[in-house]
Chain A
Amino acid sequence: MSDLLDLDALKRLLDVIGGEAEDFDELRDEFIETSPDLIETLQQAAAHTDLDAMRVASHSLKGNARDFGATALAELSAALETACKSGDVDGAIQLLSQVTEAEKAARHALLSIEASNLG
């Protein structure tokens, strides 16, 4: 399937929410829908050098990426969150472009994931 996603994490997610494919697919769509919003938020916050807003958004993105096994995105988001916390504007801006790329990649990979082919 895809190297971008940790299938075990996805199976785990499917498992913890009770194993119903529909629930899983609903969550997946939720991720596909909301993560571009978070990227948008991040970019706007970056435009205003609002590190605090960036930190909150990257925290959310990190948590979601972890849930969906998007390991690379989760790590980059975590790095971004850390950069925001430590006030490293340059680092944060730089990471944001990577996060944006990783988010796109993870979202595209998730498009092909169905609960029914995880089992």
Chain B
Amino acid sequence: MVLLSIAAVFGVVEWIAADRASTAMAAKLERVLATQSSVLADPLWNLAREQIDLTATAIMLDRDVAELRVRDEDDKLVLSQSRVNSTDGLRNNKVEIAFEGEAIGTLEIFLSNERLIAERSERLTVAAVLAGVLLLAVMVAVLISNRLVVGRPLERLLVGIQASETDGPREPVDWQTRDELGEVIAAFNRMTAERDEHERGLEAARADLEVRVQERTRDLAKASTQLTEAIESMTDGFMLFDANDQLVIHNSTYVEKMYPKTADLVKIGDSFEKIIGETVAAGLVVDAVGQEEDWLKRRIASHENPRGAYVQKRANGTWLRINERKTEDGGTVATFTDITELQEAREEAEAANEAKSSFLATMSHEIRTPLNGIMGMSTLLRGTELNDEQRDFSETIATAADTLLMIINDILDFSKVEAGALELENHPVDVSELVEQALDLVVSKAGDQGIELASRVGPGVPDGILGDPTRLKQILMNLLNNAVKFTEVGEVVLTIERTETGESPSVGTVVPVRFSVRDTGIGIPADRMNRLFKSFSQVDASTTRKYGGTGLGLAITKRLVELMGGDIRVESEVGRGAEFSFEIEVEAAPVPDRKKREDRIRNLKAKRALIVDDNRTNRLILQEKLKEWGMFAETYGEPEQALTAELSTFDVLILDYKMPTMTGADLAIAIKSKTGAKTPPMVLFSSVGQVESSLRNEIEKIGFDGVLTKPAKSGHLLDLLSRVVAGDTKTETTRSASTPVVQGDLEIHLVDDNRINRKVGSKILAANGFAADLVASGKEAIEAVKAKPYDVVLMDIEMPEMDGLTATGLIHDALDVAQRPYIVALTANAMASERDTYLRSGMDDYLSKPIDVEALIRALATARTFRAKRQSGAAT
């Protein structure tokens, strides 16, 4: 390319130079021709040859003139001079030679091209040299430019590429041209830049990540510290066990609370079993002492299967509430709260409550004692001769005293109910007796007001139910009292009925029973009904004024019904009356023997009693009671006076223990020494706690037949009096526990070597209306059952000489099937597995000691059935 372009350039330059030289030659030719032709004109005209020659020679001096020809008018060659062999190719021209305007010949000149050629070759040489120089220059330039344009950038690029293989930020390749390399490098730079950018991004991300990891680590550490601090700052002890039941973490409160002096018992990583085992071994758990293995077993079970918090007493006197909870991963979290203060507070509160209750009880007792006096005296007063005004006054006193007593009872009851201190008893209650007694309390009032009083016990209602007779009576009495109080015309009806029809249920069955008291009184407005059962609230204030009462009756009734598991309801229509009702579940029970009580009272009829008591109220109350039973009572306030009476004519002497001049015991000794064998049975009456146990033996020695604690329940008094008064009062056989007393409908024989067991057994039986013959050994039992047919034998198993099993076998041998009693095993070894042994040995039933009354009653009921079968079997 370079060569071609150089050649072309030189070609053009040469052509231009040659053209210019040619043109210059042509111009010279013309000039020479024009000049010389005029020079020649004269000689030619004169035919002066010499001159012509001279001129010609002169022309020829010009080195450029190669040949000249001068011709005449006839075109005849006159002169020719040449310095070349041939004129071929030479530039020529000819002009006319004119003389005076007449053509006389021609001059032709041929110009030499030597100078042209020489010039050309000179030019060519110069051109060649120039071209060579140029070429060289170009080549050098190319080499240099190559080096500059390609080499350097490539070198830099290479450095750049090599640099790119290393890490770290890269310098861009410094090469900013617009050529391809420039573009390549620019592209490379862009690439590098992008890569740098990318790497910077990565770096930043990594750095960011690192920062975040550090932050996280810091956060975690912080959270962990916070958690530890939180756990540490808990006032509760804290423990965490993992799924393998190993201790993961605990706080120092835990150690302080649980192990004040034995902190080394707790180590992270120890198992729960190890820790608790060592704790118990160290005697730190009060409850576990003496039963370590059992306790541990229970404790570990409760740890594995936590069920709510429980309280533990520690050896150092603290009380802990322990709460365990399973975590999601199967571990266990345990917290330990020190509730010693709470426990102490509770004990204090309980003590305070007890103090309050006892204050109330004492106060009510203190009020009731003088009140009894007022009531007794007003009754006596009415028996004396009085004028109308005095009678009215005394009756007012009696009514006021009655009301006051009622109010005191209500307040006491209410405070008990409110304090939750009222506990219901559970005794067999004779339903018809309950109804009678409740009605008795309002019958006179109803009679005064001229309203009908009726009761109905529906079919299927058990004759006897288990319940609290006093409270049931109180409920019914409250409702009846209310009904009578607010009824002026019409009737009040007490109804007890089954809510579902059915046969009278067997003993032990639970049935719902509805109690209701309906009246035809003034009724209760609907908007007042909700206030009805609130304390100290009657329908309105005017009602209170008109009808009286504390307004506590219904509140107490409601709470009592609730205690019995019922809910009292009222339905009423103003002016038409009201019905109060409640429904409770009752368990059918055997009816207590009423006949027994009536028999006892009959036995006491017309008997004479002597009462010695320094307290007049006590004398009057006792006298009243005895009068009620048909007895005659003579009272003495001074023991010395009593000694002057015809003592032997009395059926019973009732002596107070604590009297100012002489104790009851001393009086009894004096009586004995005076009347000797004719001394009637004596009963000692004493206050709570007066009769020290050490005195009891003395009292028995003196010959008292019974001791009564004041205040005596009338049932107790009746039992005691009928025992000592009825029958042959001169002997003491009724006091002997081994003497048969025929009661109830079953002949029962109790065999036990242990005297206390015999007594307890006979008392349980007596409390349930049964009497029993008692013997102390298997041998005696066999003799007894041979001598007299028994329905039931209650047989102790563990006896010396002959045990219960052997005795049972011998009874089986000695008696026919028809005569054999129902034999019930009694044993303190309460093992279910032994039951079979007893049954296999010929025993019919099994009771474990201490005797469960209900189980005993059930066993006796079965014995009754057994007897019935046996009798029918014997009859056929």
Contact = CB atoms under 8 A, between A and B. Distances in A.
A111 B851 CA distance: 24
A32 B694 CA distance: 10
Interface string A54-96: 0010011011101100000000000000000000000000000
A30 B706 CA distance: 15
Contacts of B798: 56, 59
B648 interface: no
A116 B760 contact: no
A21 interface: yes
A66 B757 CA distance: 11
A22 B720 contact: yes
Nearest to B853: A16
A19 B715 CA distance: 11
A17 B763 contact: yes
Interface stretch (B32-40, B275-283, B748-756): B748-756
Given A27-B760, A29-B693, A22 B716 contact: yes
A19 B426 CA distance: 11
Interface residues of B, number: 34
B707 A64 contact: no
A56 B850 contact: no
A13 B427 CA distance: 15
B716 A20 contact: yes
Interface in B717-769: 719-720, 753-757, 759-760, 763-764, 766-768
A37 to B, nearest CB: 9
A31 B763 contact: no
Nearest to A115: B709
A67 B850 contact: yes
A17 B716 CA distance: 13
Interface in A1-43: 9, 12-13, 15-23, 25-32, 34
Contacts, number: 92
Interface of B: 427, 688-689, 691, 693, 696-697, 706-709, 716, 719-720, 753-757, 759-760, 763-764, 766-768, 798-800, 828, 849-851, 853
Contacts of A20: 716, 719, 767
B759 A56 contact: no
Contact of A23 (B427, B755, B763): B763
Contacts of A28: 693
Interface of A: 9, 12-13, 15-23, 25-32, 34, 52-53, 56, 59-60, 62-64, 66-67, 111, 114-117
Contact of B756 (A9, A21, A31, A59): A31
Contact of A32 (B693, B708, B763, B766): B693
A31 B753 CA distance: 14
A75 to B, nearest CB: 9
A56 B800 contact: yes
Contacts of B757: 60, 63-64, 67
9 contacts: A25-B691, A26-B759, A34-B755, A63-B754, A63-B757, A63-B828, A67-B756, A67-B850, A116-B689
A86 B768 CA distance: 40
Contacts of B427: 19
A21 B711 CA distance: 11
B724 to A, nearest CB: 12
Nearest to B707: A22
Contact of A30 (B720, B755, B766): B755
A37 B799 CA distance: 17
A59 B797 CA distance: 11
Nearest to B799: A56
A114 B756 contact: no
Name the 5 nearest CB pairs between A and B, nearest first: A18-B767, A17-B763, A56-B800, A60-B754, A64-B756
A12 B850 CA distance: 10
Contacts of B760: 13, 16-17, 27, 67
